[in-house]
Structure 1
């Protein structure tokens, strides 16, 4: 007979262990980008906006808000700074001139690429000692953390960004 209390305690300990690994891994993963951003005066919010606009040229402000799960107020100051600094351009939509389409400039792309390079090196170093197929397993695990209602759309967006 299976001891339900023991299995529950074991599962709980596993979850706490993984939760802490995610917290510490995230801290150091974003920390390397934070360090590089210090000289620019930008922070994590700037990095997130730059990343998604760089990966999705022509993204609307509304789509960006949906991706980041923030309000217009939550991104307005960050977006305004990136536009004023020449990192992002805002253009009217092709069919609806009221629509604001976002693209990175050459400077914005260079910064986004440098931050991605730093973070990619961290990911590759973490994957290097793992057995073959680990990248797919880690990818599936991370996708599994995304809310089930949004998972398919998120994965499509990630796949579309690989073009």
Structure 2
């Protein structure tokens, strides 16, 4: 199946607007807490991969160490995450959400979950499965997805 250029541009535009809709309200919540979208992403992936190391976070987020350092430190300073070094190798720093970090992540993610549930309840399970398949195809080439134990092969 081929797409006409106009159809492709429309799909790209719709993807952009959908992303904006998915991130708008969590960004507003984050602002109340003096954090930004990058902090939300860090919290989200620490929750998905408890004990995640800095190198693993760099892989998942596909950012530089310099761009991760400040928001990670800010989340620690605000008490949303803790860093623990395992006894067997003190060089490794594993990151975990605190209870307040878990609460904040729930608040940040609730609107996104509600949006998805509402849309898929209207469209039906078949659309949800197809949407998930499309997202899996996009995601399977990203290096960090392997850390999430998704079976995308």
Contact 2:49 2:147 in 1 (8 A): no
Residue by residue over 1:47-97, the C-alpha shift from the partner in whole angstroms, topping out at 9 and shown as x without a partner, is 000110112110111100100000110110000000011000011134211
Q: Point out where structure 1 has 5 or more consecutive residues left out of the alignment.
A: 1-6
Matched residues in 1 for 2:149 and 2:130: separation?
16
Q: Which has the larger radius of gyration?
A: 1
TM-score, normalising length: structure 2: 0.89
8 Å contact 2:60–2:147 — kept in the other structure? no
- Residues 129-162 of structure 1, C-alpha deviation per residue, up to 9 Å, x if partnerless? 2133221111110111125364xx62661549xx
Pick closer, same or farther for the CA change 1:23–1:149 going to 2, 3 Å. Answer: closer
Higher relative contact order by CA 8 Å / sep ≥ 6: 1 or 2?
A: 2
- What does residue 14 of structure 1 align with? 7
Q: CA RMSD in A?
A: 2.0
- Check whether the contact 2:44–2:105 (CA below 8 A) recurs between aligned residues: yes
1:97 aligns with 2:98: no
Query: What 5-or-longer segments of structure 2 have no aligned partner?
Result: none
TM-score, length basis structure 1: 0.84
How many equivalent pairs are there? Answer: 151
